[in-house]
Amino acid sequence: MTEPNILWITLDSVRSDHTGIDGYTRDTTPEIDRLAADGYGFNNCFAHGKSTLPSSGGILTGSAPSRTTLGITGNSLPDGVTTVAERFAEGGYTTACLSRNSFVSGATGLDRGFDRFQWLASSTITDAGIGTLVKYLFNIREHSAGFTTDTAKHASPYLMNEVAKKWLADFERGDDPFFFYLHYNEPHRPYYPPGKFIDAYTDGLEMSAREAAEFALDFHYNLDEAIATDRKLTQDESDALQAMYDAEIAYTDYMVGRLVDHVESLDLSNTVVVVTGDHGELFGEYGLYAHSYVLMDGVTRVPLVLYGVDSDLAVAEEDIVQHSDVMTTLLAMAGCDADGTIGVDLREESRSMAVSQRGPASFDGLLEHNPEFDTSRFLDGIMTSVRTETHRFERGEDREQLFELPDEETPVDDEQPDVAQALGARLDEWIDEYGEPVGEAKSDEFSGAVRKQLSDLGYLD
């Protein structure tokens, strides 16, 4: 069998239950749903981490976050970790990555193994080419917030697509199969949809679409204060926030559909397409927003679509899967080395539990706004979650706790000690086999450009 081309598209901050493959009431993802209908659409895919760095590290290495240390105790990939791009390159693939997120860049080492890599940010945007930038400016009212100097209001999928199309043309002329990884920053906060989509879900709101977008932007900038003071949103404010989030999902879905259509117009018929989220987002659950502090389903359960795979899979679409499973499967399909990854080959195996991890949480931003904020309800230190079909078991450095789903706020350790003990034992085995660090964690100082983008996204003060 000819080795397939692989196009992997990661969307930032998309929770599964806001997509069509998970039965969402709004039609936010018709393009992704179309791919799922002709392929596989999984609604129980669990990210390896709660945020971009540990999750993307898991995707692009096939290793657990605690092993790579990314987003756990370090922020840069240790030398002893083999990346997925290196595996594909060793197998004869052309490898490329186009990223809009600083956590998927040379700053974290996740560019390792890519023949071609580009990080798109305000400081590097000219690298996209003058012609591409001119096209973007001509379409800026439809595909972004119009002419404004506020970079937080600009969307980038149009720019991503235009650059990607140039690269795909090069791949079409080449002789080798390709592994092309794209990380779209949308719909990550702040939720400020482009003009074409800003009013997609604002019917019934008391505020206008523009007012809703401005509210979402203001909420983004004051997120720590809102959580620390337990700010209660009005129904209209909550509806506005989710309307803007859903509009961002819908716009990005539209652009994903356009890119896949372009791929299918080229002489690249043997191409496998993956579309997923790197993590989810909270909207008031546990008194939280965004994706910090916890490993609840809203943060870890993401959509996953696998399109263009000729093989039958050994898993059903409602089964638990993780990103490393898909990557291990693709490596095996490509005839590349998958030894040492934590995934299973989905053509042959399924899994009974998913493992997600979080590094030590910092509450400094919350305590600045409210010194009395109760941090004791969160687990200390490195936190690991085991998610089965019926339970979530969590372990921090201070304690363990068990939840019977769908309730993720009421521990049932005392009522179900046997379940807690069994899942704790399985976690011990998993850590021994997969979770120990490969080497000393690296924490490099990020450059000014990287720090600026991470600050815009709310990761840094």
Q: What phi, psi does 282 have (nearest 5°)?
A: -100, 150
In the chain, the domains with their CATH numbers are: 5-456 (3.40.720.10)
Give the residue-averaged pLDDT of 306-314: 94
Average pLDDT (52-59) is: 97
Q: Is 58 exposed, middle or buried (0-12, 13-18, 19+ CB in 10 A)?
A: buried
Predicted confidence at residue 444, as pLDDT, reads 66
User: pLDDT-derived band of residue 221, with 50, 70 and 90 as boundaries?
Assistant: very high
What is the arithmetic mean of pLDDT over 166-174? Answer: 96
What's the pLDDT band for 153 if we cut at 50, 70, 90? Answer: confident
Across 47-130, the runs of DSSP E, i.e. the strands, are 94-99, 116-119
What does the alpha-carbon distance between residue 144 and residue 148 come to, in Å, rounded to a whole number?
10
How many whole angstroms separate alpha carbon 377 and alpha carbon 374? 7
The fraction of the chain above a pLDDT of 90, given in percent, is 85
- According to DSSP, residue 126 is labeled G
pLDDT value at residue 147: 65
End-to-end CA distance of the chain: 51
What band does 192 get if pLDDT is binned at 50, 70 and 90?
very high
pLDDT value, residue 402: 98
| pTM for the model | 0.93
DSSP state letters, 204-241: T-SS-HHHHHHHHHHHHHTHHHHHHTT----HHHHHHH
CA angle 11, 13, 14 (to 5 degrees): 70
At residue 128, does pLDDT exceed 80? no
Determine the 3-state secondary structure of 56 from DSSP: helix
What's the mean pLDDT when you consider all of the chain?
92
pLDDT at 460 (0 to 100): 46
pLDDT > 70: percent of the chain: 92
pLDDT average, residue stretch 328-357: 97
DSSP 170-187: HHHHSSS-EEEEEEE-TT
For the stretch 427-442, pLDDT in tens is 999 999 999 998 787 7
Helix (H) or strand (E) holding 259: helix 235-265
